[in-house]
């Protein structure tokens, strides 16, 4: 049954192109990927060696030996310890890479004889394809066993005589230690080449076929192809026709360098040699550290090239400015960041909220009061960003994410609906007279407590409306968390929050002069802002209700106001231009509402593209479909996926997403759905963490990568290590994201 399982797995691997996108022509033949050889030991047993090509490995469990000579049996086979690898077919397996040796202890006759040995092994390539079990038959000329190698009765006089004769022979012709017989050293030539050298003692030689050079622990410097001088042809009983090298060996190894700075590399040299009198040394390894000097240009394939700088994430650049710039320059920079963030979708919903507060003051609103209402709103919002930003940085908990709980979303959606209904004149919202008197001392000129109300709305708006994390915010929070510098970090957060509110101040200051003071127009403007308040409520409910209900609410929000604009009533024969303008606006709203209803019936869930579902069968629709993420819900699941991707030779892109994160939806709809982006990510494993619920596993994932919240995109290399310099925090458009992907060194 076990053999049938192996055959079945091999057939799957061999013929399933959808599972492994591997071209067999790119793989080495098994005899080159796993070179096996054998040689007798001095005590009459056998040493088996494998040279395993780079990017390949052998299974320890799949290595077996069997004697094909009747008079010889194998008593023991010593296999070295290997590394553990999780195999999708065989589970946790011990594997070998590069080079291994196994000593076979034989039960054999004393006389010299030819020993026939069958070696079985099985291995795989890191690209994902496994070879069928391999069989190799070897013939080893075993020497006759000496008295020391056999078990006989102990004769003290004979033993003393043998020891004396052996001592005379050793003093007469003692073998040199390997380090003296084969002295290895290496030097650096002009930073572009290595010169490797061996000084070989007289009466000794090295095998030309046994040289192997490797660089350890580096990816930005590699060895290029090199030529080994030819030697003297020789027939070797263990290796067949070989070339051997005497006296001195020296040759040049060119380097491929992408790191032009001064740095140290580690060179490992493998080689094997023998003494002329017939004794061979086991394979040897020497490791040397070499200092490469700085160069003006990189060298690839021995040609100078222009350096491609390693990408640095935006938040890392901002952290560097926090560490290096003056206090004043830092605050000025973060004010600029805030102004830029003011025009992102995470801040847009604050505009109708503040405008609704101003319009809700009625006909008595003045230019001065509108400005101070806006200032109360903006300052409260900035202070909230500062306080809870510092807490998030110091304790790793994002309160904004906590405020995305469904019951809180329902509560605040209800508040906005109540505010909108007051705009329509169903009732007047006014705090009790007793509370008004208490607020008298807080506001010198206004008894309605509107400044306090605006500040409260600013606090809750910053917590509920804009929970997305952008690069400047992430940088400030990371800086506070790493350094504990609350003064600089907190000041930067406050200035950034204030910068985000500058457009709100402008809108608030202008509202007092632009809005009509009384009459029919004031009622019309209040109704318009009432509809906008309802839109904010629906926008918030999108996070917690079904997409179909959201589509229905958006359709209602377009159709019902259009009816109030008398879209279904005929225009009078003589009517003003303003009435015609409102009529036209109503027609547009009504038509768009009908399109949303049609899209809803066709299965669309995007009110911005309501008819997209009607083209589900087209190639364009397929191209613009969202990226097919695989969801992971915990650190354990993520680690498992990283291991699988690493085994398949693929990088991983990990996206942190939440339904309440507007920038996340922007990134998904406009950037990650782009055909060029999907093509650029074709070789990646794309994973996604949905932290909408913000449960314990979600918080553990955020904490593991020192993230405050979404959106965030992380990249992992073949060693399952995150490339922190390649992080994407916040929204990036298609062009910027494609440029970012092109700079990844994978």
**pLDDT digits over 645-679, tens only?**
888 888 999 999 888 777 788 888 888 888 889 88
> Taking 50 as the threshold, does the pLDDT of residue 151 lie above it?
no
Over residues 465-498, the pLDDT tens digits come to 555 656 666 666 666 665 667 787 788 778 888 8
In the prediction, which pLDDT does 169 show? Answer: 44
Report how far residue 715's alpha carbon sits from residue 236's, in angstroms, rounded to the nearest whole number: 51
Q: Structure tokens of 605?
A: 């869930």
Q: What are the E-state strand segments in 604-695?
A: 630-631, 652-657, 685-690
- Is the bond into 295 cis (omega within 30 degrees of 0)? no
In the prediction, which pLDDT does 200 show? Answer: 92
Most confident of 163-167, 250-254, 260-264, 499-503: 250-254
Q: How many CB atoms lie within 10 A of CB 361?
A: 19
Pairing of strands 99-107, 46-52: antiparallel
pTM above 0.85, yes or no: no
- Across the range 696-705, mean pLDDT stands at 85
Tell me the pLDDT band of 554, cut-offs 50, 70 and 90. Answer: confident
Report how far residue 115's alpha carbon sits from residue 132's, in angstroms, rounded to the nearest whole number: 26
In the prediction, which pLDDT does 631 show? Answer: 92
Average pLDDT, the chain: 75
Report how far residue 286's alpha carbon sits from residue 271's, in angstroms, rounded to the nearest whole number: 9
Greater confidence (362 vs 719) lies with 719
Residues 319/479, Cβ–Cβ less than 8 Å: yes
Residues 579/570, Cβ–Cβ less than 8 Å: no
CATH architecture type of domain 619-742: 3-Layer(aba) Sandwich (3.40)
> Taking 90 as the threshold, does the pLDDT of residue 686 lie above it?
yes
> Taking 60 as the threshold, does the pLDDT of residue 453 lie above it?
yes
> Taking 80 as the threshold, does the pLDDT of residue 173 lie above it?
no
Tell me the pLDDT band of 358, cut-offs 50, 70 and 90. Answer: low
Domain boundary assignment for the chain = 2-146, 178-305, 316-522, 546-615, 619-742
Tell me the pLDDT band of 205, cut-offs 50, 70 and 90. Answer: very high
DSSP class of residue 283?
Answer: P
Over residues 228-269, the pLDDT tens digits come to 888 888 877 677 778 899 988 888 898 888 777 778 889 999
Total residue length of the chain? 746
Question: In angstroms, how far is CA 204 from the centroid of its own chain?
Answer: 52
Domain 2-146 has CATH 2.60.40.1250: yes
> Taking 60 as the threshold, does the pLDDT of residue 170 lie above it?
no
Q: How many CB atoms lie within 10 A of CB 184?
A: 19
Place of tokens 């009732």: 427
Residues 349/465, Cβ–Cβ less than 8 Å: yes
Most confident of 120-134, 180-194, 205-219, 578-592: 205-219
Over residues 24-37, the pLDDT tens digits come to 557 788 888 889 88
> Taking 80 as the threshold, does the pLDDT of residue 592 lie above it?
yes
Query: What's the CATH code, domain 178-305?
Result: 2.60.40.1250
Name every residue whose Cβ is closer than 8 Å to that of residue 500 and which is 6 or more positions away in sequence.
338, 339, 341, 342, 347, 381, 382, 385
In the prediction, which pLDDT does 193 show? Answer: 84
Same fold, 178-305 and 619-742: no
Tell me the pLDDT band of 687, cut-offs 50, 70 and 90. Answer: very high
In the prediction, which pLDDT does 582 show? Answer: 76
């Amino acid at each position: 049954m076990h053999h049938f399982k192996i055959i079945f797995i091999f057939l799957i691997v061999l013929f399933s192109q959808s599972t492994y996108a591997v071209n067999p022509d790119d793989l080495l033949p098994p005899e080159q990927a796993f070179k096996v050889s054998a040689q007798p030991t001095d005590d009459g047993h056998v040493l088996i060696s494998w040279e395993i090509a780079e990017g390949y490995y052998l299974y320890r469990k799949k290595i077996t030996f069997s004697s094909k000579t009747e008079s010889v049996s194998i008593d023991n086979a010593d296999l070295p310890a290997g590394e553990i690898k999780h195999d999708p077919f065989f589970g946790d397996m011990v594997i070998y890479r590069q080079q291994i040796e196994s000593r076979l202890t034989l039960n054999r006759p004393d006389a010299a004889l030819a020993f026939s040995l069958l070696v079985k092994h099985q291995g795989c390539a890191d690209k994902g394809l496994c070879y069928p079990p391999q069989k190799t038959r070897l013939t080893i000329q075993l020497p006759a066993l000496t008295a020391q190698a056999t078990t006989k009765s102990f004769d003290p006089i004979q033993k003393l005589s043998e020891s004396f004769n052996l001592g005379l022979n050793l003093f007469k012709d003692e073998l040199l230690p390997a380090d003296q017989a084969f002295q290895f050293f290496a030097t650096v030539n002009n930073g572009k080449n290595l010169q490797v050298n061996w000084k070989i003692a007289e009466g000794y030689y090295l095998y030309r076929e046994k040289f192997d050079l490797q660089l350890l622990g580096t990816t930005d410097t590699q060895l290029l192809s090199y030529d080994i001088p030819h030697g003297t042809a020789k027939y070797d009983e263990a290796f067949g026709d070989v070339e051997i090298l005497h006296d001195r060996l020296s040759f040049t190894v060119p380097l491929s360098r992408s790191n032009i700075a001064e740095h140290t590399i580690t060179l490992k040299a493998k080689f094997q040699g023998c003494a002329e009198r017939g004794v061979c040394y086991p394979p040897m390894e020497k490791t040397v550290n070499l200092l490469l000097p700085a160069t003006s240009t990189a060298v690839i394939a021995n040609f100078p090239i222009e350096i491609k700088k390693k990408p640095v994430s935006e938040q890392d650049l901002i952290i560097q400015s926090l560490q290096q710039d003056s206090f004043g320059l830092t605050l000025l920079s973060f004010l600029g960041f805030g102004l830029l963030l003011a025009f992102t979708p995470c801040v847009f919903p604050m505009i109708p909220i503040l405008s609704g507060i101003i319009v809700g003051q009625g006909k008595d609103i003045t230019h001065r009061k509108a400005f101070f209402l806006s200032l109360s709103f903006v300052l409260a919002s900035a202070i909230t960003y500062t306080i809870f930003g510092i807490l998030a940085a110091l304790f790793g908990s994002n309160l904004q994410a906590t405020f995305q709980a469904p019951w809180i979303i329902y509560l605040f959606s209800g508040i906005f609906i109540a505010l909108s209904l007051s705009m329509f004149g169903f009732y007047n919202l006014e705090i009790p007279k007793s509370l008004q008197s208490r607020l008298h001392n807080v506001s010198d000129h206004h008894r309605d407590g509107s400044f306090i109300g605006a500040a409260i709305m600013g606090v809750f708006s910053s917590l509920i409306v804009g929970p997305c994390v952008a690069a400047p915010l992430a940088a400030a929070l990371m800086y506070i968390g790493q350094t504990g510098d609350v003064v600089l970090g907190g000041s930067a957060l406050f200035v950034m929050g204030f910068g985000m509110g500058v457009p709100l101040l402008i809108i608030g200051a202008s509202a007092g002069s632009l809005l009509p003071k009384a009459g029919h127009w004031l009622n019309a403007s209040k109704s318009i802002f009432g509809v906008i308040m309802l839109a904010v409520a629906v926008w918030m409910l999108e996070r917690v209700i079904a997409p179909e209900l959201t589509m229905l609410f958006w359709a209602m929000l377009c159709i019902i106001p259009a009816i109030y604009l008398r879209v279904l009533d005929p225009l009078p024969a003589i009517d003003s231009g303003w009435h015609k303008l409102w009529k036209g606006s109503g027609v547009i709203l009504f038509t768009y509402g009908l399109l949303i209803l049609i899209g809803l019936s066709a299965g669309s869930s995007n009110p911005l593209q309501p008819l997209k579902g009607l083209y589900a069968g087209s190639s364009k629709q397929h191209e613009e479909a969202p990226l097919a993420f695989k969801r992971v819900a915990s650190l354990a699941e993520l680690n498992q996926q990283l291991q699988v991707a690493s085994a398949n030779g693929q990088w991983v892109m990990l996206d942190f997403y939440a339904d309440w994160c507007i920038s996340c939806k922007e990134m998904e709809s406009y950037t990650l759905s782009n055909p060029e982006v999907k093509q650029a990510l074709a070789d990646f494993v794309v994973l996604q963490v949905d932290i909408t619920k913000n449960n314990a596993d979600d918080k553990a994932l955020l904490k593991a990568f020192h993230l405050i919240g979404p959106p965030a995109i992380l990249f992992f290399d073949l060693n399952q290590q995150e490339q922190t310099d390649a992080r994407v925090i916040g929204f990036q458009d298609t062009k910027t994201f494609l440029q970012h992907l092109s700079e990844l060194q994978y």
